[in-house]
Chain A
Amino acid sequence: MATAKTIHVALAGNPNSGKTSVFNCLAGANQRVGNFSGVTVEKVEGSFQHRGYTIRLVDLPGTYSLSPYSPEEKVARDYILFQKPDMVVNVVDATNLERNLVLTTQLMDLEVELLVVLNMYDEVEKQKTTIDIEQFEHLFGAHTIPVSAVTKFGIRELLDHIVDIKSGAIDTKKYKHTYTDRTEEHIRRITELVGDRTLRPELPDRWLAIKLIENDPDVISLLQRSSGWEKVRPAMESIRADIQKSNRMEPDIYLMEERSAFIRGALQETVRNTEAEAETLTEKIDNILLHRVLGLPLFLFFMYLIFQLTFRLGEYPMHWIESFFHMISQALSAVIPDSIVKSVLLDGVIAGVGGVLVFLPNILILFLCISVLEATGYMARVAFVIDKLMHRIGLHGKSFIPMITGFGCTVPALMAARTLRNRGDRIATMMAVPFFSCGAKLPVYTVIISAFFAPGIAGNVLFGIYLFGVLIGLISAKLMKSTAFRDESEPFVMELPPYRKPSARSMFKQTGFRAWMYIRKAGTVILAASIIIWFAGTYPKNQDVHRRYEQLRQEQPADIAKLDRLENAEQLPYSVAGRIGKFLEPLTRPLGFDWRLNIALVNGLAAKEIVVSTMGTIYAIGDTESDPSSLAESLRNDPAYSPATGLAFMVFVLLYIPCMASVAVFSRESNSKKWTVIFVSYTLVVAWIFSFLVYQGASLLGM
């Protein structure tokens, strides 16, 4: 039988228990990364051979327990319950047993085939601590082996034991009961009721009984629908009342206390520490990094560093990518004869691919930085230091990074929201991110400000625009958190894990995975959108205009470049984009925008970089150089515009949809069509309202 030779192993453990390192040791390079179905929780799977067996290893998300409160915990618990792996390997941080063994006791409740791995055993030995493994196995009733993923100690034995347990070469021990006699009696009573098979026969009875005593909402809603429920419920309620009365504690707390007491007792019998506990390196580092006075400046310095690395360092490869695509398009331009195909290829496809890849350096650097923060353990400190401010707008401290990254580029910023585990926090943060004015919007402000405002106040106007964006962003987050996500908040109760040296390999792997996800999912959408927008800006053409210019081109062959520019400008109103611009005029007149500004805004949907260049195309009439100063001059001299128009235009650019790429990424990261639609319409509506208020207000003030 082929299946008998396959061992399905699930790897469970606390975050920071070194579970991923153990996984990497075992599975090596044979990994597949994906998401658990239905949730954006990353799923890593590996498959490999050992002594004639195929071992299929699934890395469950790191969790502190198997309660149903976070997506990670739900995924881990459902996987064990419903996918029924042959065995659960529980990776435990041996330097922090009391904490880690809580999950172990919960896995014992599930009555699965359990193999406990005492990871970081080298550090235990360094601390002059000894663990009596035999006694430990006896007390926990689970097969136990010490390993160290860092030094590779015990990895081979672990593989042997997995095979031996499956083949029956090792007798696995029966579980010891972790609770007091009285509680075990309660559990037995319910187990008997649950065990009559009218409820959920595929689930372990003992586990169901324990969860019923704990009043686990998921288990109750599972059982409520079955016919045996009415028999079980009274027993459950009387036992809960009994525990409550005799211990003056709610049953779930009481069971947890019993588990802790069991763990404490077991550890007293098995762990010997001969050396006084010294201040750890982590404590020394935190004494500086979380220092009352130095903590905040150091934090701001790190954030500044990440921002600069991402966008300043990222600028170089971005230029290379841009010039690379420029080169390709020039080379192709020389080869392919003039035709529509050439136009589509050069201005649509190649520009589109370039537009996708140009974000890649930013994304790679930012995610490498975030991986470093997460792998070293500083990410938890980021949240710790800035949480007080973020909490005021209802968000988690970790929202800070996506938000400041938004000043550089919205696309990586939205992706950075992944570090928020709670969906409500994540989407609320993502709704705020686009209002943190991204780098591509700056040229628009520069042109408009130099057109309508005196150099003396230019700086203040620019600062005001940025500040206004931040304000709207924070208000938006607060709004989301107090309406749609009122009850979805990540509790701040959080581990400050020991600092660790990050593994370069796993960081690059993770970064590469995220970058690939961006290219695959967002890339295709961005490419398609760029082509559509290019078509909309180019077609249809007015044949009369075209014929007139053809004639002019023949008459004045020396001025072809200038004539092309003039024709483009004159053709624009006939194109789909131009028609849309005109069509939208009634809607934008209260904001002071005419159809020409509308075209710039419509094209700006592709990317904000295009706003200024579109305006350049529009005003190319009678203007050979479309450099910013002359564009500013054209705008200033245009009787249709006033400083009020300029202000309203900047506000609109600041607030409306950042770009197609951001919409694609938002859709991917939120995993929700509904929220993507809200994202698009919310930014549009907010932009309209504030531009309207600004235009009308400024006009009243005589601007």
Chain B
Amino acid sequence: MRTEALKNEPLPLSDAVIGMRYLVTVVSAQGVIRQRMLDMGLVPGARLVVVRFAPLGDPIEIRINRFFMSLRKEEARQVEVLPLGPCPRREQATGTGFMRRFRGNC
């Protein structure tokens, strides 16, 4: 995993891609936003998956373990992450083709 991570350059969380896993490396936000991020588990060393962007393109929804949280791109810009590759497929519920189209990517 480490070598895989090292292959990639760190990037701001705001530029992350849906369905990919990331390792949090730096939290540079300050004040309330920083505290809130830390409280919610967005700390260096945490692994997260980008779940989706809101219909209007901002905010972002991410998942840390079983915890889903959202943050604005402007806030996500202050978090640096390393890509860890695509999210391993989770067990998908069976659904019709119609329902499948509504599914997120991970």
Contact = CB atoms under 8 A, between A and B. Distances in A.
Interface of A: 64-65, 67, 69-70, 95-96, 98-99, 102, 249, 252-253, 256-257, 260-261, 276-280, 282-284, 286-288, 290-296, 299, 380, 384-389, 391, 489, 491-498
B54 interface: yes
Contacts, number: 142
Contacts of A69: 31-32, 35-36
Contact of A388 (B42, B58, B65, B68): B58
B44 A249 contact: yes
A253 B27 contact: yes
A496 B61 contact: yes
Interface string B42-81: 1111100000111111110100111111111001000000
Given A388-B59, A493-B40, 15 more contacts: A69-B36, A70-B32, A99-B64, A102-B41, A253-B27, A287-B102, A290-B55, A296-B56, A299-B55, A388-B54, A388-B56, A389-B56, A491-B75, A495-B68, A497-B68
Given A65-B35, A277-B90, A493 B102 contact: no
A122 B77 CA distance: 39
Contacts of B35: 65, 67, 69, 252
Contacts of B33: 491, 493
B37 interface: yes
14 contacts: A67-B39, A69-B31, A69-B32, A96-B65, A98-B66, A102-B39, A257-B44, A290-B61, A384-B59, A385-B56, A491-B33, A491-B36, A493-B40, A494-B71
B91 interface: yes
Contacts of B64: 98-99
A496 B68 contact: yes
B97 interface: no
A204 to B, nearest CB: 20
B39 to A, nearest CB: 4
Interface residues of B, number: 43
B55 A291 contact: yes
Contacts of A386: 56
A260 B46 contact: yes
B52 A65 contact: no
B7 interface: no
Given A67-B35, A95-B66, A279 B91 contact: yes
A493 B37 contact: yes
Contacts of A279: 90-93
B103 interface: yes
Closest 6 CB pairs of A and B: A295-B55, A65-B39, A64-B39, A388-B56, A491-B33, A493-B36
A96 B67 contact: yes
A496 B40 CA distance: 11
B55 A387 contact: no
A256 B45 CA distance: 11
Interface of B: 27, 31-46, 52-59, 61, 64-72, 75, 90-93, 102-104
A498 to B, nearest CB: 8
Nearest to A216: B35
B66 A384 contact: no
A385 to B, nearest CB: 6
Contact of B75 (A280, A291, A384, A493): A493
A287 B18 CA distance: 13
B6 to A, nearest CB: 18
B43 A257 contact: yes
Nearest to A291: B102
B70 A496 contact: yes
B45 to A, nearest CB: 6
B70 A492 contact: yes
B68 A278 contact: no
Contacts of A282: 68
Contacts of B39: 64-65, 67, 102
Contacts of B72: 387, 391, 492
Given A253-B38, A295-B54, A492 B43 contact: no
A276 B37 CA distance: 28
A252 B71 contact: no
B61 A493 contact: no
Contacts of A260: 41, 43, 45-46
For B59, B61, B103, the residue with the greatest tally of chain A CB atoms inside 10 Å of its CB is B59
A256 B41 CA distance: 9
B43 A256 contact: yes
A492 B71 contact: yes
Contacts of A253: 27, 34, 38, 43-44
Nearest to A283: B104
A260 B61 CA distance: 21
A64 B40 CA distance: 7
Contacts of B34: 252-253
A387 B36 contact: no
Contacts of A252: 34-35, 38
A286 B102 CA distance: 9
Contact of A495 (B40, B53, B102): B40
B75 A495 contact: no
Contacts of A280: 66
A416 B66 CA distance: 31
Given A99-B40, A294-B102, A494-B69, A261 B56 contact: no
A63 to B, nearest CB: 8
Contact of A384 (B43, B61, B91): B61
A385 B54 CA distance: 6
B93 A387 contact: no
Contacts of B67: 96, 98-99, 495
Nearest to B53: A292
A256 B27 CA distance: 11
A497 B39 CA distance: 15
Nearest to A386: B56
Contacts of B68: 282, 286, 495-498
Nearest to A298: B55
Contacts of A495: 40, 67-69
B103 A287 contact: yes
A287 B75 contact: no
Contacts of B27: 253
Contacts of B66: 95-96, 98-99, 277, 280
B89 to A, nearest CB: 10
A493 B91 contact: no
